[in-house]
Amino acid sequence: MDSRLSTILRSPEQEYSIGIYRGSSPLDLRPVPESANPVLTRESVTDAKAGLVADPFMTRTKTGWSMFFEVWDLNDRRGKIGLATSRDAAAWTYRRIVLVEPFHLSYPYVFESGGDYYMVPETDQAASVRLYKAASFPDHWQFQCSILGGPRLVDSSIFAWQGRWWIFTETGRLVRHSTLRLFYAETITGPWCEHPKSPIVAGNAHKARPAGRVIVWHGNPVRFAQDCEPVYGTAVRAFAITALTPDDYAERPITPEPILCGGAAAWNSGGMHHIDPHLLADGSWLASVDGWRDIARYD
């Protein structure tokens, strides 16, 4: 979640919680019957006075699932990275906050590469995109390096494709949530180069801001975007990337309508703005998502 949006309490406010969805494809996901959504709320957090939990990213090991997410701490009014674990991805247990910095943290994009675990959280207040590596997974993380720098770098989404590393990041300064830039590198630590077709989205808050993990589906990378009109966190849209090289970029919307939006349940009645899909052995897809409801004030 945007550090500036979190800092300023809105009216009505958006209280975010986390749920688990499952379906036959990453575009057709529904609440999991065996999960009591939301699976994590601000009340789940035991080591901070949480105002919300949001931006969930999962990873799977031999012993189960780990989920990382923003915990908005009301005491010092900044985001920190929390951890929850599960054996079956249905019932989750909150563990503790695992990453704290003197600046706001959110959107903890966690991934595995070469047997190591990395995290690229949003660190916009530090004016950089920072790479962390697990010294002891899942609860001890060490800063490695800054891989991009600039005055606004929000919800950076990193992925590997055809021998290179790629990063989408939202950079709209005058009109927020409206500009998406693309960078690439030969290695995770760089050097990183901006793509010649970047920004790939300009002046469009319906599809610029990243909304979760980039996946590969039907042979193409798929990026998810927050629809931030008419308000932040309205819905999630999906785009198939049909060309991705150092010289070329092209994409198309997979569906004309959002794949996630506000639901009938109270916890996500206002809207949804994040998805982290994972392909399971049986061919189905499991995803952590978040959603929000309007509240008059934080308790």
Backbone φ, ψ for residue 231 (5° rounding): -135, 160
pLDDT of residue 296: 52
223 close to 181: Cβ distance less than 8 angstroms: no
pLDDT of residue 174: 65
pLDDT of residue 148: 97
pLDDT of residue 1: 67
Q: CA 73 to CA 52: how far, in whole Å?
A: 8
Amino acid letter, residue 2: D
Amino acid letter, residue 65: W
Q: Which tokens go with 252?
A: 């198309």
pLDDT of residue 13: 74
pTM of the model as a whole:
0.94
pLDDT of residue 2: 59
Tell me the CA distances in angstroms from 89 to 63, 131, 155, one per residue in order.
Answer: 11, 26, 24
Question: Can you give the chain as a three-state secondary structure string?
Answer: CCHHHHHCCCCCEEEEEEEEEEEEECCEEEECCCCCCCCECHHHCCCCCEEEEEEEEEEEECCEEEEEEEEEECCCCEEEEEEEEECCCCCCEEEEEEECCCCCCEEEEEEEECCEEEEEEECHHHCEEEEEEEEECCCEEEEEEEEEECCCCEEEEEEEECCEEEEEEECCCCCCCCCEEEEEECCCCCCCEECCCCCCECCCCCCCCECECCEEECCEEEEEEEECCCCCCCEEEEEEEEEECCCCEEEEECCCCCCEECCCCHHHCCEEEEEEEEECCCCCEEEEEEEEEEECCCC
Q: Where are the domains of the chain?
A: 3-295
287 close to 279: Cβ distance less than 8 angstroms: no
What is 3-295's CATH topology?
A: Tachylectin-2; Chain A (2.115.10)
For the chain (length 299 residues), average pLDDT per consecutive 10? 46 82 95 86 97 97 95 96 96 97 98 97 97 97 96 96 98 86 97 98 96 97 96 95 98 97 91 97 97 68
Residues 6+ apart with CB under 8 A from 228: 176, 177, 178, 205, 206, 208, 209, 234, 273
pLDDT of residue 102: 97
